[in-house]
Structure 1
Amino acid sequence: MTVVSVSMPDELLERIDAFADEHGYTGRSEVVREAARNLLGEFEDKQLEDRELMGVITVLFDYQSTDVEQRMMHIRHDYDELVTSNVHNHVGDHYCMELFILEGSMADISTFVGKIRATQDILSIDYSVMPVDRIDPLS
């Protein structure tokens, strides 16, 4: 197995170590490998390929990070054909939340989420993807 060096903040490393201990992992490498596999597999759902999809993406950041808000606006405009709705809200005393509603292919939604994830100073990103061409509402 190849050894890889990765830079990360001390706080994140401490959280990974605590997670490994709490959940019975052999160490941080096992946690990072599993996280990487999960990240890479997120958008590989064969049932969603070649379908029109709706994506709901929620992004949280500190309101004092004005660069983040500007970067969100630029990403939104870069993907104007994909973004059907965008809402900006203030949450608590220090946070902003961006909500994006997307409609498009899995590849397009995946690329959009990747751009958001690559944005520095994002505190949290959550998303869901579902088909909009679903015929049976109970399936």
Structure 2
Amino acid sequence: MTVVSVSMPEELVERIDAFADEHGYTGRSEVVRDASRSLLGEFEDKRLENRDLMAVVTVIFDYETTSVEERMMGLRHDYEGLVAANFHSHVGSHYCMELFVLEGRLEPISTFVGKIRATQDTLSVDYSVMPVDEFGPAVPSE
């Protein structure tokens, strides 16, 4: 097996080690391999290819980390054809939440989410993707 060296904050290493202990993994390498397989498989769902999709992406970050907010603004502008809506809110006394509603195809949505995940100093990135055609035809109200 190839050995890969990865840099990460000490807090994340501690969380990985605790997760490994709590969930019966043999060590952090097994956790990282499992997480990598999961991440790589997320957007390989054949059911989502060649379909119109809607995605909701939520990002949490410390409000004092202006570089994250600047990055979110830059992505919003770079992907203006994909971003259908954007909402910014303050959460508690130290955090911000950025919410993006995306409409488009799998590849640009995947790229957008990847760029957000790659943004340094985000605390949480969560998203959901669903095909728009699963909503069915509109039912007229009576």
**Using the alignment, how far apart are the partners of 1:14 and 1:123 within structure 2?**
15
Query: Secondary structure of the residue that 1:98 maps to in structure 2?
Result: strand
Deviation at 1:66, TM superposition (A): 1.2
Measured against aligned partners, the alpha-carbon deviations of 1:67-105 in whole angstroms (never above 9, x if no partner) come to 211110010000000000000001111111000000001
What letter matches 2:119 in structure 1?
T
Deviation at 1:132, TM superposition (A): 0.5
Aligned residue number for residue 62 of structure 2: 62
Q: Which runs of 5+ in 2 are unaligned?
A: 138-142
Deviation at 1:136, TM superposition (A): 4.6
Aligned residue number for residue 18 of structure 1: 18
Measured against aligned partners, the alpha-carbon deviations of 1:5-59 in whole angstroms (never above 9, x if no partner) come to 1111111111111111111111111100000000100101111111000000000
User: Normalized against structure 2, the TM-score is what?
Assistant: 0.93
Instruction: Calculate the aligned-residue CA RMSD, in Å.
Output: 1.1
Aligned residue number for residue 114 of structure 1: 114
Aligned residue number for residue 97 of structure 1: 97
Measured against aligned partners, the alpha-carbon deviations of 1:90-134 in whole angstroms (never above 9, x if no partner) come to 111111100000000111100000111111111100000001112
Aligned residue number for residue 33 of structure 1: 33
What letter matches 2:107 in structure 1?
A
User: Normalized against structure 1, the TM-score is what?
Assistant: 0.95
Runs of 4+ in 1 over 4 A off after TM superposition: none
**Using the alignment, how far apart are the partners of 2:53 and 2:127 within structure 1?**
13
Q: Which runs of 5+ in 1 are unaligned?
A: none
**Using the alignment, how far apart are the partners of 1:135 and 1:23 within structure 2?**
37
Deviation at 1:135, TM superposition (A): 5.5
Q: Give the length in aligned residue pairs.
A: 137
**Using the alignment, how far apart are the partners of 2:12 and 2:67 within structure 1?**
22
**Using the alignment, how far apart are the partners of 2:90 and 2:39 within structure 1?**
28
Query: Secondary structure of the residue that 2:134 maps to in structure 1?
Result: coil
1:125 matches 2:125: yes
**Using the alignment, how far apart are the partners of 1:36 and 1:18 within structure 2?**
18
- Aligned-residue sequence identity (percent) comes to 75
